[in-house]
Amino acid sequence: MTGTAPTTDRHISPAVALRGTGAAARHVCTACGGDLGPADRPWKDHARCREIALHLAGGPAYDTGEREVFLRQFCCPGCATLLDTETAMAGDPWLTDRRAG
């Protein structure tokens, strides 16, 4: 699914929106319209996730000496836009943002 997001999209964030209604509603990337899965599932399940140790991701300013802290980057599988980031300890669940309706 590609194309410019229509104005009827309901944003979850500036980068991710819900398109369509009811059982047909899908998450989409607002940059390219790429599909990010059904509305009843977390959109991050359908993104590409890079989980990089913080000290490797951000250079010296982020090197705390700790090796168990990660920067998660969730990217659009279509256009590679970075949709969301999280800092996390290994194994901690992803944060989930949902839009009602």
Partner 1 sequence: MDPMTFSIIRHRLFRIVDEAVITLKHVSGSAITNEGHDLMVSLYRADGSLLMGGVGFLHHLTSAAEACKAIIRRFDGDIGEGDVFLLNDPYTAALHTSDIYLVSPIHVEGRLVAWSACFVHVTDIGAVNPGGFAPQAPDIFSEGFSSPGLRLVRGGEICRDVLDTILNMVRSPEMVSLDLRSMIACNNVARDRMQALFRKYGAQTVDAACATLIEQSEQLFRARLRELPDGSWQSRQYLDVNGTTARVVLTMTKTDDRLVFDFTGSDPQSAFSINCTKWASLGGLFAPLFPLLCYDITWNEGVIRPVTMIAPEGSIVNCTRPAPVSVATVGAIQSVNNAACTTIGKMLAASDRYRDEATAVWHANHFAIFKFGRNQRGGYSIGILTETFAGAGGARSFADGVEIGGEIPNPISRMANVETVEASFPVRYLFRRRAIDSGGPGQYRGGTGGEMALVPHKAPDGGIDYVISGKGTRHPMSEGLAGGWPGAPNAYVWVHAPEGGDGAPVVASDGLAALEGDHQRVSWGVYPLRGRDALYVRWNGGGGWGDPVTRDPQAVADDVAAGLVSPGAALAIYGVALDGAGGPDAPGTERRRAAIRAERLEQEAAQ
Binding site for partner 1 (CB under 8 A): 10-15, 44-50, 54, 58-62, 64-66, 69, 71, 73-75, 77, 79-89, 92, 94-101
- Listed as own residue / partner, the contacts of 91-95 with beta carbons closer than 8 Å and 24 or more positions apart are 94/42, 94/44
Closer to partner 1 by CB, 2 or 96: give it: 96
The 8-class DSSP code of residue 5 comes to P
What residue type is assigned to position 12 of the chain? I
Residue placing its CB nearer to partner 1 in the complex, 21 or 58: 58
Token pair recorded at residue 7: 């104005």
CB of 23 to partner 1, least distance (A): 18
